[in-house]
A and B are shown apart, each in its own frame.
Chain A
Amino acid sequence: MAEMWITMGPQHPMTHGLWTLRVKVDGETVTDTEAELGYIHRGVEKICESRDFTQITPYCDRLCYVSAMTWAHSYIMAAEDLLEAEVPERAEYIRLMAAELQRLASHLMWLGAFGPDIGNLTLMTWCLRDREMFLDLLQELGGSRMHYNFPRVGGVKRDIPIGWADRLRAKIKLFEHRIDEYEMLLDESTIWLVRLQGVGYATAEDQLNEGVSGPNIRAAGINTDARWTNPYSVYDQVDWEPAVEKPTSVKGADCYDRYRVRMEEMRQSCRMILDAIEKIPGGSNTHYSPGDEMILTKAPTRAPEGATGTSTYECTRGVSQFYLQGGGDGRGKNPYRVSIRSPMFITIPYVAKTMIGYKVADIPAIMGSFDPCIGETDR
């Protein structure tokens, strides 16, 4: 049969965002692929050059609309490096919990989108139901459902409210049972295994060479978790282990490995949060007013020319990096240059190539298992 090109996207159920995957098919078999990115390029890096360091945070929230808290945190770490700000330990704990809650919400969004990719809509409604719990918790911190603008240079915007810790514990305990429920629905289902196992192999070596990071490469057996290898914040003080899956095939990690590693990561996030809420300095049921020195320290607002700040942060989809250079407009109030390394921008073209040889029906399974987010990809 003659080969033909199919254009999937920019509006297609498989894409999870705005991008185009051009697929060359021979019948049902994929013989070549090509990824086209850049549909929602907003020029965030350029915009940031005319904003001061506090004003940049909302733009970083919007880098990834599924995982706003981690991206804002990632930026704030670079800004603190640049401005040499100290962060109170209580604020670090609050940031850790917020980031891990965001990771739970993001992974739930991934699983919820992955379900319809494979053909199960129940998974989506279950995951969105549970994600709602964590969005409620995050809303209590940041005041909004998706874009929180929560971290500040030198601390956080607001302390945890009274009673938040109890709600957090109850919801995390409930959610740990819910993870078991998901696994009962999925891992017990032969069809789920048939669709995921042996599909979408990606070797550790290939992924390292391409620069893939995060859960995708941890599924191949390499622990590149920045929270573990290069502990920032207070990740070395709470009780957790990175989720690393040992692939069972020499061909590398398949979709099932990537699914497993994210499920395990959700468990670890729960463990981390439960531990952090016990260890938080100043007590979990006290509330400091905004601007209190327990949660926010005074930080300089200007960075001299030549000063640089970087951060390496484990986002929900891989390692995100920020590079800031001081001394921009407004006599150093704004950065001179902001550079953002997005994990998915590197991953998506690689994933497009791993699809070659599989069936058309495997495209959403493979793409979904890598958890694409186009907001951060196109920046």
Chain B
Amino acid sequence: MIRVLGRPTVEVIIMNDWLGLHDFIFYRTRELCGWAFEGTFLESSSNDVAFFIHTLLTCLITFGGILISMFMILWIERKVYARVNDRRGATTALRSLWVGENGVTAGEWWNMIPYGLGKPVGAINGWLNRVAGNDGHEQEMVNRVGNRSWYGVAIFPGFFQNLADGMKFLIKEHMVPNRADKVIFELAPFLVISSTVMILGMIPLSSGIYGANPELSVLFAFAIFGIAPLGVFFAGWSSNNKYTLLGGIRSAAQLTAYEIPLLLSILGVCIMAGSFNFLEIVHFQHSSGAWLLFLMPLGAVLYLVSMIAEVERIPFDMPEAEAELVEGWWTEYGGMRFGLLFAAEYMRVYAASILFAHFFLGGWHSPFAGIVPGGPLIPGIIWTLLKAWLIFTVVFVWARTALPRIRTDQILEFGWRMLLPLSVLQVALAIIYRMYLFDASALDTSTSGGWSWDAGLFPWAVPVLTTAFWLAVFWVFMNDEDDTEDTERMYHVQTLTPAGTHTAGTE
């Protein structure tokens, strides 16, 4: 719904984020343009000019917010990854936040803040050093393993590392392979990058900060999401390299297989919320009283699994499997094109995390917004980003650190035989929930939220029971140990020549 055309009603204002930059800019630009063009020949079209300026500003703010905060997820990934890997090097450890970069109190960035404003940080640092270590043997280990001098700005150790990397990419030479299809080769990265940036324009950061808000924004965002695989395939084919060819074909197969469960799980969300609009889906979760994570945990898991495959991260990073395909479909790209492809990948990851926050974690609403009164005081954009960072850390980074990579045929089999039936089941469940367990009359758009999911039993009956059920299912599957494991291999593969039947050297 394009609500901006009329003044929002009182209820919507309460449910909305109070930091309503979108509406603020809209009305200020209108007033300013009306005042500036009064009496001139532009007077009749002052609203159009205002709309143009307003759209430009809001898009810039949204893009800027997402792109700048993207440093955060890059930083999180580096820190968490290093932490799990037990490395305590320069830009690698969470401890470097308080112990400085070399494991001692090098840096002491808090002393560089003017007027002694950083002194509390220094005090906390001293306390952390006392309770959390930095004693003798620890320091020895840090110096031994992580003896790297620190670089970057001293405000957030390692935070601007990616700016330095980007500068490095900028000054690298751009090379095109001799036998490549040059037009397609140049076109492909821009297809990937521009479509990725377009997704960001569709994603609201809160009810007050968004670039554009078409009625079917979910459909639009995921339609754009489907453009990038085409670019990937172009890149793989046009490089005229056997590794990129294999990577491109793998990517095409994988993205096709996982696009369907992804869209079906989102279809479940849209059925539940009764809308294809991001703002309305998030508002529905607030006004009906429960986040969709608790109503459709299966859908959330399906979304995450297929999203990891869509953004090609471990364990589903077959298209760029560096062990056998060097770098997969982007092997031949160098310089800033490689840098931008890399950035585009992280943009897609970030978009996936923010979308998860919107679809399943109530977007910009604080947890227990109806019960705990202080939550809404924090601007909604903070909640959105916090949730996205949490999802990124817990799901994307953790999976990357803990899991190996699946083989191509196993990925496809998993996608078609497991995820697809389950996502169809999830759509059916969503229809049943919406038709029989949903109480539309109990929707409440005020601050406290409604009680739509009690099913006549007790408040929150449906989400509580649903979550308990799926946790039980999960527990059963986790503890289902197969005793035949010792006598027979659990996993066999079908091969062209049955393995072990040939004699080496005779073929």
Residues of B within 8 A of A249 (CB): 489, 500
Residue of A nearest to B507 (CB): A356
Residue of B nearest to A116 (CB): B323
Asked if A231 is at the interface (CB within 8 A of a chain B CB), the reply is no
Residues of B within 8 A of A31 (CB): 496
Residues of A within 8 A of B410 (CB): 194
Total CB contacts across the A-B interface at under 8 A: 148
CA gap between A31 and B326 in the complex, in Å? 20
Are A356's CB and B324's CB within 8 A?
A: no
Are B242's CB and A13's CB within 8 A?
A: no
Residue of A nearest to B87 (CB): A125
CA gap between A206 and B502 in the complex, in Å? 10
Residues of B within 8 A of A254 (CB): 489
Are A28's CB and B504's CB within 8 A?
A: no
Are B503's CB and A189's CB within 8 A?
A: no
Asked if B135 is at the interface (CB within 8 A of a chain A CB), the reply is no
* Stretch of B120-128, B218-226, B396-404 that contacts chain A: B396-404
Are A251's CB and B86's CB within 8 A?
A: no
* Stretch of A40-48, A61-69, A195-203, A289-297 that contacts chain B: A195-203
Are A252's CB and B326's CB within 8 A?
A: no
CA gap between A199 and B497 in the complex, in Å? 13
Residues of B within 8 A of A356 (CB): 496-497, 502, 507
For the complex formed, measure the closest distance between the CB of A40 and the CB atoms of chain B, giving whole angstroms.
21
**A195, A252, A361, A362: most-surrounded residue (chain B CB, <10 A):** A361
Asked if A185 is at the interface (CB within 8 A of a chain B CB), the reply is yes
Residue of A nearest to B323 (CB): A364
Interface string of B493-507 (1 = CB under 8 A from A): 101111111111101
Are A118's CB and B491's CB within 8 A?
A: no
Are B493's CB and A358's CB within 8 A?
A: yes
Asked if B314 is at the interface (CB within 8 A of a chain A CB), the reply is yes
Asked if A129 is at the interface (CB within 8 A of a chain B CB), the reply is yes
Interface string of B227-268 (1 = CB under 8 A from A): 000000000000000110010001000000000000000000
CA gap between A13 and B493 in the complex, in Å? 24
A126-B85, A206-B504, A359-B409 known; A191 vs B404 contact (CB < 8 Å): yes
For the complex formed, measure the closest distance between the CB of A358 and the CB atoms of chain B, giving whole angstroms.
6
* Stretch of A4-12, A147-155, A275-283, A307-315 that contacts chain B: A4-12
For the complex formed, measure the closest distance between the CB of A16 and the CB atoms of chain B, giving whole angstroms.
11
Are A191's CB and B498's CB within 8 A?
A: no
Are A195's CB and B407's CB within 8 A?
A: yes
Residues of A within 8 A of B491 (CB): 193-194, 197-198
Are A121's CB and B324's CB within 8 A?
A: no
Are A357's CB and B404's CB within 8 A?
A: no
A197-B489, A357-B498 known; A362 vs B407 contact (CB < 8 Å): yes
Are B403's CB and A13's CB within 8 A?
A: no
For the complex formed, measure the closest distance between the CB of B282 and the CB atoms of chain A, giving whole angstroms.
34
Asked if B321 is at the interface (CB within 8 A of a chain A CB), the reply is yes
Residue of B nearest to A210 (CB): B504
Are A251's CB and B499's CB within 8 A?
A: yes
Are B507's CB and A185's CB within 8 A?
A: no
Residues of A within 8 A of B503 (CB): 206
For the complex formed, measure the closest distance between the CB of B140 and the CB atoms of chain A, giving whole angstroms.
11
A28-B409, A359-B408 known; A119 vs B321 contact (CB < 8 Å): yes
Partner of A122, one of B85, B408, B486, B496: B85
Are B495's CB and A120's CB within 8 A?
A: no
Asked if B441 is at the interface (CB within 8 A of a chain A CB), the reply is no
Residues of A within 8 A of B138 (CB): none
Are A120's CB and B404's CB within 8 A?
A: yes
Asked if A230 is at the interface (CB within 8 A of a chain B CB), the reply is no
Residues of B within 8 A of A12 (CB): 326
CA gap between A272 and B256 in the complex, in Å? 53
Residues of A within 8 A of B486 (CB): 248
Residues of B within 8 A of A28 (CB): 246, 250, 408-409
A121-B85, A354-B504 known; A189 vs B402 contact (CB < 8 Å): yes
Are A122's CB and B495's CB within 8 A?
A: no
Interface string of A165-203 (1 = CB under 8 A from B): 000000000000000000001000101111101111111
Count residues of B near A (Cβ-Cβ below 8 Å).
Answer: 50
Asked if B53 is at the interface (CB within 8 A of a chain A CB), the reply is no
Partner of A195, one of B402, B406, B495: B406
Interface string of B407-436 (1 = CB under 8 A from A): 111100000000000000000000000000
Are A194's CB and B407's CB within 8 A?
A: yes
For the complex formed, measure the closest distance between the CB of A109 and the CB atoms of chain B, giving whole angstroms.
16
Are A122's CB and B314's CB within 8 A?
A: no
Asked if A350 is at the interface (CB within 8 A of a chain B CB), the reply is yes
Are B500's CB and A203's CB within 8 A?
A: yes
CA gap between A120 and B408 in the complex, in Å? 16
Are A125's CB and B490's CB within 8 A?
A: no
Partner of B322, one of A13, A26, A198: A13
Residues of A within 8 A of B246 (CB): 6, 25, 28, 360
CA gap between A356 and B504 in the complex, in Å? 9
Asked if A14 is at the interface (CB within 8 A of a chain B CB), the reply is yes
CA gap between A311 and B23 in the complex, in Å? 85
Are A359's CB and B407's CB within 8 A?
A: yes
Asked if A115 is at the interface (CB within 8 A of a chain B CB), the reply is yes
Interface string of B85-101 (1 = CB under 8 A from A): 11100000000000000
Asked if A331 is at the interface (CB within 8 A of a chain B CB), the reply is no
Are A4's CB and B242's CB within 8 A?
A: yes
Asked if A117 is at the interface (CB within 8 A of a chain B CB), the reply is yes
Residues of B within 8 A of A194 (CB): 406-407, 410, 491
Are B318's CB and A361's CB within 8 A?
A: yes
Residues of A within 8 A of B402 (CB): 120, 122, 185, 189
CA gap between A254 and B406 in the complex, in Å? 17
Residues of B within 8 A of A192 (CB): 404
CA gap between A356 and B402 in the complex, in Å? 30
Are B500's CB and A201's CB within 8 A?
A: yes
Interface string of A87-128 (1 = CB under 8 A from B): 000000000000000000000000000011111111001100
Interface string of B376-414 (1 = CB under 8 A from A): 000000000000000000000000011111111110000
Asked if A363 is at the interface (CB within 8 A of a chain B CB), the reply is yes
Asked if B167 is at the interface (CB within 8 A of a chain A CB), the reply is no
Interface string of B182-212 (1 = CB under 8 A from A): 0000000000000000000000000000000
Asked if B317 is at the interface (CB within 8 A of a chain A CB), the reply is yes
CA gap between A195 and B250 in the complex, in Å? 17
Are A361's CB and B321's CB within 8 A?
A: yes
Interface string of A1-35 (1 = CB under 8 A from B): 00010101000111000000000011011011000
Asked if B178 is at the interface (CB within 8 A of a chain A CB), the reply is no
Residues of A within 8 A of B404 (CB): 115, 118-120, 189, 191-192, 195
Asked if A298 is at the interface (CB within 8 A of a chain B CB), the reply is no
Are B85's CB and A125's CB within 8 A?
A: yes
Asked if B465 is at the interface (CB within 8 A of a chain A CB), the reply is no
Partner of A201, one of B87, B324, B325, B499: B499
Query: What 7 A-B pairs come out closest when comparing CB atoms?
Result: A119-B405, A251-B500, A353-B504, A357-B495, A125-B85, A357-B497, A201-B500
Given contacts A31-B496, A354-B499, 11 further A-B contacts (CB under 8 A): A115-B404, A125-B87, A189-B402, A191-B403, A194-B407, A195-B404, A195-B406, A248-B487, A251-B500, A359-B409, A364-B324
User: CB within 8 Å of B: which residues of A?
Assistant: 4, 6, 8, 12-14, 25-26, 28-29, 31-32, 115-122, 125-126, 129, 132, 185, 189, 191-195, 197-203, 206, 210, 248-252, 254, 256, 350, 353-354, 356-364
20 A-B residue pairs with Cβ-Cβ distance under 8 Å, sorted by A, are A6-B246, A28-B246, A116-B323, A119-B314, A122-B84, A122-B402, A125-B87, A126-B86, A185-B402, A194-B410, A197-B489, A198-B492, A201-B499, A210-B504, A251-B499, A254-B489, A256-B489, A359-B493, A360-B325, A361-B324
